Amino acid sequence: MTRVLIAAFDGLQPSQVRVDLTPNLFKFADGGVTFARNHPVFPTVTRINVASLVTGRHPGSHGLAGNTVVMRDYDANNVIEAMEPVLTKVAEKTGDVLLVPTLADTLYDNGEEYVAVGVGTSGNAYVQNPRAEALGGATIHPEFCLPRGVHDQLIGGFGPWPTTTSPNVPQMEHGTRVLIEYVLAERSPTVALIWFSEPDSSNHKAGVGSVLSNQALASADQQFGRIIGWLEGSGTLEETDVIVVSDHGYATIESVVDIEAELRQAGFPSGGQPGGVLVASNGGALLFYAHEADPVTVERLATWLSKQSWCGAMLAAERVGVVPGTLPASVGNIDGRRSPDLTMSFAWSSAPNDAGFPGQTASSGGPVGVGTHGGMSRHELRNTLIARGPSFRRSTVVDTPTGNIDVAPTILHILGLPGGDDMDGRVLHEALDGGDDVSEAECRSVTHAAELGDYRQEVTVTTVRGSAYLDEGNAVLR
């Protein structure tokens, strides 16, 4: 039986898959399928892209709108960070962190198992399999496990997790050992995942292409090489489909906006007051929640934002109606019952950073010159997807648009399991051995535009076989 292993490199850009930076991954990609136009979902932050990877759904559908959010069904008047133990409290109060089934749920329903090892944030790990305590499988993280009892079991067998470092080499090494010796060798689940926290954490600290970032990436690549070597040595590589993913691309911070101070100076009270606004900062994107979702407040907010030099594309939720200058949140695939009232991406350019990596943007935080993500730049909206194994073509480059939403339906198709037809993503037949190619007629790109006074925004979306991919969005003041 074919098994699937997902290896995730947090923040890995396609241009970083090079023989000098990632020799193991480069060699792996050379014999497999490289997806040249892969897309994360927007906002281009980790936890919602993890949710889209494991559900095959856009954020508007799965209900996690960002790394920091307001969930009105949990707490209407406060911004929360999507981390443990807050997510457990959300589940206890509302019933679900994610509003749709995950890959782990579908595997459980069919007598199969999903086990994830997450060396990253606790929120990233939690959304891999939120129902593991009740339904089985497992999520393994340095701080906790689901089911909870697995944590003490692994500490007893492997010792305590190393502390977080920069680059985060000791934890990645420990996580790789747990994956090989416990997950793959002992449990042998139908689908396994390992999440490397690098190069993301080093990109945030020193910038994309920095010495620290390159060292971190090399270390993650070494762990990937260990895993491939174990699969070869155990004789299981030929029956394993290995899928390499990243959650988002990157840009470099060129300026920082203190959005809380800017809002109060503009006369917007805090979110708990009439006319007030709560703002959840997500790096290159801002999520705004008006008091009681008041359309008048949202329109006033959008008008003010449209006059700021750092304002990029703006998307308004259906619940607040037509807001001048904005585009519908459905254009960005983010409209839903937990979506923000207004979402804004910071303005960006394609200017390179000091290491030559293109993409500069304003941000809600972080030092100027280091890496960030969250926004709608084409550089943040391109990420890595590579696959190799018995189900995939050999030495192939797929040029048709694909996305993180396609990973789950493709895995279910490979395994011959149901559930993929209900997802926003599609099966990547063009990458599968014996699969059909996507014709030019099946790809359609549309640029949506809106303006207000001197402000004009454009957002481009490409649709392939019914699945939508956000290409980029920006705005200018004329």
Reading the chain (478 residues) residue by residue, the pLDDT tens digits are 799 999 999 999 999 999 999 999 999 999 999 999 999 999 999 999 999 999 999 999 999 999 999 999 999 999 999 999 999 999 999 999 999 999 999 999 999 999 999 999 999 999 999 999 999 999 999 999 999 999 999 999 999 999 999 999 999 999 999 999 999 999 999 999 999 999 999 999 999 999 999 999 999 999 999 999 999 999 999 999 999 999 999 999 999 999 999 999 999 998 889 999 999 999 999 999 999 999 999 999 999 999 999 999 999 999 999 999 999 999 999 999 999 999 999 999 999 999 999 999 999 999 999 999 999 999 999 999 999 999 999 999 999 999 999 999 999 999 999 999 999 999 999 999 999 999 999 999 999 999 999 999 999 999 999 999 999 999 999 8
Long-range Cβ contacts of 110-113 (<8 Å, 24+ apart): 110/417, 110/418, 112/189, 112/190, 112/191, 112/415, 112/417, 113/137, 113/187, 113/189, 113/190, 113/191
CB 385 within 8 A of CB 402: yes
- Say what the pLDDT of residue 1 is: 74
Predicted TM-score (pTM) of the model is 0.97
CA atoms within 13 A on the CB side of 357: 27
- Say what the pLDDT of residue 272 is: 84
Give SS3 for 350. Answer: strand
- Reference 360, options 198, 200, 208, 205; nearest CA is 208
Q: Both tokens of residue 315?
A: 């998307």
Give SS3 for 334. Answer: coil
- Say what the pLDDT of residue 110 is: 97
Type of residue found at 168: N
- Ordered strands of the 285-290 beta sheet: 277-282, 285-290, 342-346, 311-316, 327-328
Chain Cα centroid distance, residue 193:
15
- Say what the pLDDT of residue 270 is: 87
- Say what the pLDDT of residue 271 is: 86
Residues in Cβ contact with 265 at an 8 Å cutoff, skipping those fewer than 6 apart:
none
